[in-house]
Structure 1
Amino acid sequence: MITIHKALQEARDKLENKTATPLLDAQVILCHVLKVDKLYLIMHKERILTKEEVYEYNEMIKKRLCGVPVQYIIGKQEFMGLDFHVEEGVLIPRPDTEILVEKVLNSIDKDDKYNIVDIGTGSGAITISLAKYMEGSHVYSIDISKKALDIAAKNAESHGVLSRITFLNGSLFKPLNDIGVEGQIDILVSNPPYIPTADIENLQIEVSKFEPKLALDGGEDGLDFYREIINTAPKYVRSGGLIALEVGHDQARRVIELMKEKKGYVDIEITKDLSGIERVVSAGIKF
């Protein structure tokens, strides 16, 4: 007979040298199988698992041993207090990206109505969070991946904000050309691909092998998408509008240089996380 305690112990031992957080991974997966929270595992550690539960748990642990991210295994990730469905083919939302959303929310009057563009929808974490917490606003959410947009639309529906979002399939600004929003966007936000191409193969296996390279590859120096966004944004964002971009490690200063080379960017700021790492570059648009 396998108890909760024994199942966790065995899974942790298997994962010990395979992941950075073996016990946490084991707990999160078992919580998913049993449909309980972590406190339940602690309070009921002698509960005996059924054969079906043991089988399902072991199959999921096998996937984790192969490097599959926990979020893909359990099919969800929490972001800004909301649960998002995720699966292979869509980037897993990171806690760091919450800083980008918080920067936007802290920069505006949440009771006003805004036209927002989110470039690089992914699972819809940024788009849906903004739509949820800025109720009178509308988000134009763009991604080149149709699968990502399908997943994002399902997430939007589950959070009750589908009517506040227009999902657009295509690369960068191209989908906006046909809907007549030039000069009418109040806020442009993006967490674009920013990993230098040569660095992708050196990332953790969870990322390099399983997450979509399309959502990671930022070109030779990681700045390809920033160049395009910064060059084109003033065509769509109105004077007085806001642009906020998540940036990778040591990229903030270079992104600022790109903004300074292009007319129209004012009040450029860097927002750091609690560890002092530069995470977001934001600026006003002024003509």
Structure 2
Amino acid sequence: MDMTGWQAGRIGQDTGRPAAEGLFRDFAQALRYWRARRGYSQLRLSAESGISQRHISFLESGRSQPSRELILRLGNALDMPLRQRNAMLLAAGFAPAYRERSLTDPELAAVRRALDFMLTQQAPYPALVVDRLWNLVMLNQPARRLMGWLLNLAPGQALPTEGVNVIRLMLDAHGIRPCLPNWQEVCADLLHWVQREAMADGPGSEATRLLESLLALPGVRQAARAVNPDSHALPFMTVTLHKGDTELRLFTTIATMGTPRDVTVHELRIESFFPADAGTAAWFQAQVCPDGASA
């Protein structure tokens, strides 16, 4: 199978560059954006941050310039993602406060071991680790086997862990979409995650570019508009996979790392798949292999 089509959609996770892009002209614009994003009045932000309303007004108008410590306090009060706190610091002329290490960095070895453990424990069911833009970082063997089967990969042709955007893989007509009878419902749910990141990052960001590229896929924009999220009877959305005589029904959980101080760690998502019915559970049990190890 030609994998170049859906691999080309990978955006983000570039190495060797700062942990945040300068998405704002200056600090005042960044502060106004994030206060509005959180729906805070200047009075509410003053109460949350311990900074006077008058000073916040001066900061937003550009009449006052912030210190590094004040920016970090505001970032905490506004519950901003670490990447966006770095962006606000950059907008004010300061260096980023939070590093963005590679997961292969020796300082993140304990994180890598924890992820390996969680992926292995999820067997015989699939599990993935993705970044905030759903670029694939790690996956366990059940996930690798499932994707290889759905994508008709040739024997010995492994799904790469680099260059794959999981959402594009699901929604691209050359990816898993032909195996998704309820792909429109899945589409609306997946786009929600990217839209949330795009709203947080603002215009011109990596998340915005990813969203635009996904909406440009044939049928995706129309599918997202057609779904009525209030019409479902189940308490969770199932992902239905159909190939040949096999139909699998799965639901997912998403976990994050606690108390992160690194941009990479803060943005990791562990998506675990569980069977929604006994037939799906039996199918995965039959696929068990002795190692069950993660990639």
What TM-score, normalized by structure 1, do the two folds share?
0.33
Considering fraction of residues, name the structure with more strand: 1
Q: Higher RCO, 1 or 2 (CA under 8 Å, sep at least 6)?
A: 2
What TM-score, normalized by structure 2, do the two folds share?
0.32
